[in-house]
Structure 1
């Protein structure tokens, strides 16, 4: 075979190679080892397995599956909260709801950690939020039945119902907002929908802010209510842990949302002189 034929065959082989091979050189950018905290957490749950996806198509497919699964589980939580609040008062049914909440936050803390290692843009408080919520749900699951549990039951179920409704609203409108931003290339294709408010949501999603702030202050109310229960003599340790968790969630959610709003207003004020 001549050198010319060999070079033509080599060029054809490189042209026909699958896209995944051409992206191998970029895989290190999304290696979980680049973020020790995420790497350790994912490996504690999944074991010593590789969670790095090599092709952009596989990353987007994984992200879309995660979003759809999150929506289905959120709707399931909404239905369970509705049934428990209005129709059923059995302890084991409430335990199923709390177990679903534990599963929800643990599952998505793992999945989102995997997606972050593959380039998804979610970080900061909204990652830590998943861990605190998983801990809170776990304490709620092990809270024994009694006077204190029943006193806080309806308040928590109403909050869970409201939170699930807001999450569904966020998913629906965030998905549409992300689609509009990805099309002209204003946002990365691996951005995720989250339970809070981020800077990219400013355009077209500011109407969600009152619902979010109401939910934040409901978390504060839950924490203060539990601290009042904690003063009783027969109070269990789980009550104070739930109270602290709710207050942490309130402070993190509220301060993060306020910071985003403040940053957006500041950037708008700086842009006004340029436009005039």
Structure 2
């Protein structure tokens, strides 16, 4: 017992020194954090000042570039310079534009404002990537998403059409059709969201293809409210639409396979930017025009036919649903818009080919 009492009476060695040591370490850490904060603030201020200076230079260069593009075009039209000189100047300006809008310089340019669609879904969130690697990852994710969904876009209607004859005795049940329509709504919404983010990050997606997906979103949403697809009144329209979807899925697979290769080639040649993507249902490559473009025109004609059929049904029937009219109008609008943009792409390609032939001569 004596030994135990004696042990309790002895203070641990180094207790005060340990407490003081901990206090010193905490004080040292706090002082180091303050120094680091001040250094980071100074660095941030210097970086912001340099970024502002470079941003002003980039904006001035873009303004000069646009003015020179107009001047070269005007001089060429007035025959103040020959065509060969004009082509060389345009190539130089294109290379200058590529340097401004691709790579690190593009992050110094003012970002495009979020559109209404992005503001509705995400609010005022800044979706522009500050680093070029981040922007490229956004683009690659968009391409990967298109590859994944192209297979589903083809497989979903094929399965429904097969099951109709094998299991459902020639009549689509309501639930599978509504599940497909819900998937279309999700697909077009996510596609439009990704495309809006790509445009904010400097991609060249034509506005029409984003509007096209808005129309497809509305049509899928309206179709969900249509009710049960009666075998007597609505099965023909559903079957025609599924047939069109199968053709569309085949076209998407062809585009994703061939157009991606062409885009990579154009980027390697300096004729396209790293953030550029395939333009919806238009861009083609040499060797595929004989397959892809006829398929696209057939698709557009089929889409127009389904829209007219729905509108005709709404006119003939006394008690037709409002969904028939809306879906018919949207199909006609999308078919006409797709046709106009496809023809515009063909005309642009013909002009480029003609210019290249003149240069070779």
Give the TM-score, by structure 1 length: 0.84
Work out the CA distance in 1 between the residues paired with 2:227 and 2:110.
Answer: 43
* Aligned mate of 2:349, from 256, 264, 275: 264
Work out the CA distance in 1 between the residues paired with 2:186 and 2:218.
Answer: 11
Work out the CA distance in 2 between the residues paired with 1:236 and 1:121.
Answer: 39
Q: How many residues align?
A: 253
Work out the CA distance in 1 between the residues paired with 2:206 and 2:358.
Answer: 32
Distance 1:101-1:30 versus aligned 2 partners, 3 A rule: farther
Of structures 1 and 2, the one with the larger relative CO (CA 8 A, separation 6+) is: 1
Distance 1:166-1:236 versus aligned 2 partners, 3 A rule: same
* Aligned mate of 1:82, from 135, 147, 158: 158
* Aligned mate of 1:112, from 184, 195, 207: 195
- Larger of the two Rg values belongs to structure: 2
The Cα shift of 1:273 comes to: 4.2
Does structure 1 residue 63 correspond to structure 2 residue 148? no
**Segment of structure 1 superposing worse, 161-170 or 24-33:** 24-33
The Cα shift of 1:270 comes to: 4.8
Distance 1:103-1:187 versus aligned 2 partners, 3 A rule: same
Does structure 1 residue 228 correspond to structure 2 residue 312? yes
The Cα shift of 1:48 comes to: 2.8
Quote the residue 1:125 is aligned against: 208
- Mark the runs of 5 or more structure 1 residues left unpaired by the alignment: 1-12
Deviations 1:24-79 (A, max 9, x none): 8743536232xxxx433212111232101011111111111121112212211221
Work out the CA distance in 2 between the residues paired with 1:64 and 1:204.
Answer: 25
Work out the CA distance in 2 between the residues paired with 1:43 and 1:156.
Answer: 32
Distance 1:28-1:143 versus aligned 2 partners, 3 A rule: farther
Work out the CA distance in 1 between the residues paired with 2:106 and 2:142.
Answer: 23
The Cα shift of 1:118 comes to: 0.3
Does structure 1 residue 93 correspond to structure 2 residue 176? yes
Give the TM-score, by structure 2 length: 0.65
- Mark the runs of 5 or more structure 2 residues left unpaired by the alignment: 1-42, 55-102, 165-171
How much is the aligned-residue C-alpha RMSD, in angstroms?
2.4
